[in-house]
Structure 1
């Protein structure tokens, strides 16, 4: 009995020691201070002077004029918009020029277009405001059913700018579908220019995820727009776009 008592007296502290010795130790590694930010805080002149030349250079670059519009190009519309048409057209034109593929359809999500183009000068800053996200160009290979799914999505959601495809629908029922003025051809592979956000299922376009990729590029949408606008400006062209009846919804 005495022996058992001695054992218990010894084993309990030992267990306690083992448990506490394995516990992580906490150390104070830094300090924080709450600062209320407001207009009454004095300007740090040293920091301001350090930043100023960078800010000045950035503003100069963003204010550089790269093109000119004849009228403001807006994103208002029921699915189709003047700006959506323009961006989709430029994406299609760039892909054909740089990749050498005959692109059948080009689409852009209207939600990804974050600003409009003003009447008159187009600055580099305008394009960065219009396309602030790092969206990359991809080319997908669609079959006949894939194209139908795309048209049905466009008719039901009314959120896409489209180039190369004309849709007439009643509700979600497709009444007429033309690809570059022609009916769908069974067994034909249609090339779709699209950004990686949509290709990966963004904005509810999950049906695009399993479609084969012909090319995944590192071309950013805003760089595409800048290059096309600059090339048209050098050719003496002004930037124009309008709603053309590419998407007719009853």
Structure 2
């Protein structure tokens, strides 16, 4: 009996100390109260613009318009992306990507690809402005260089045949009813033991547009060069040489 009374007493004091501790904690801590106010403002054309902010924004807008209206090249006819698979614009961008990588990175590029969906506008007939390129390539897509073996090249060609969303330079494909008949890289048949280089943007390299087949390929270079930057560079280069920007569908992808 003495043992049971002792245990009961201990339990009583444990509860008492716990209650006392909770009392001290709740009465010593700083009390926090909600406060705040809000006002609903209706925004419409009836609200006059703030003169200070309007002047501030207008100065940047004017400077931006001057920059975007700078002419960097010229075409004889519009270069467009129309229809599935090979397009004039897709060919041009893939060519420029290949050419830029070879000249600026010192890489021999066997194949260059671009997703047609990433090209958001056509190039107009006549002057090409800086703004035209920003409209064509508004996304921050960076140039990557990957390595492929012969089997990877065949997988890439099969993707092109079945999805019909790529612009391609350096590789030609002949297919019938979805079946590949012939693939050539640099106008030559595939060499089984050879490794090939691929210029591509980071969006596709990381599996965008269903291109998971690229995600496991070795990365030779991952640059911070934007697609629009390399396009501007190539167009200015051609212009400096006195050349107009031209492109057409050439039969690089014969998919029917």
Normalised by the size of structure 2, how large is the TM-score?
0.88
Q: CA separation of 1:181/1:30 partners in 2, compared to 1, >3 Å: closer, same or farther?
A: farther
2:139 counterpart (133, 145, 148) = 133
- 164, 186, 191: which one aligns with 2:192: 186
Distance 1:22 1:157 in 2: 68
SS of equivalent to 1:38: coil
Within 5 A, what are the aligned runs for 1:2-13? 10=16, 13=19
Structure 2: segments with no counterpart, 5+ residues = none
Which residue in 1 is equivalent to 2:52?
Answer: 46
Q: CA RMSD in A?
A: 2.7
Q: Is there any run of 5+ residues in structure 1 with no aligned partner, and where?
A: none
Alignment CA distance shift 1:39-1:141 (3 Å): same
Displacement after TM superposition at 1:30 (Å) = 6.0
* Deviation digits for residues 71-119 of structure 1 (CA, Å, limit 9, x no counterpart): 1111112211111111000000000101112211000011111111111
Given the alignment of the two structures, is residue 96 of structure 1 paired with residue 102 of structure 2, yes or no? Answer: yes
Task: Return closer, same or farther for 1:45/1:71 CA change in 2, 3 Å cut-off.
Answer: same
C-alpha spacing 1:20/1:130, structure 2 compared with 1 (3 Å): farther
The size of the alignment, in residue pairs, is: 250
Q: Distance in 1 between matches of 2:21 and 2:178?
A: 71
TM-score after normalising by structure 1: 0.90
Structure with higher Rg: it is: 2
Q: How does 1:14-53 map to 2 (within 5 A)?
A: 14=20, 17=23, 28=34, 31-53=37-59
In the alignment, structure 1 residue 144 sits paired with structure 2 residue 150: yes
Who is 1:68 aligned against? Answer: 74
* Structure 1 residue matching 2:59: 3-state secondary structure: helix
- Partners of 1:105 and 1:49 in 2: how far apart? 49
Q: Does 1:171 align with 2:169?
A: no
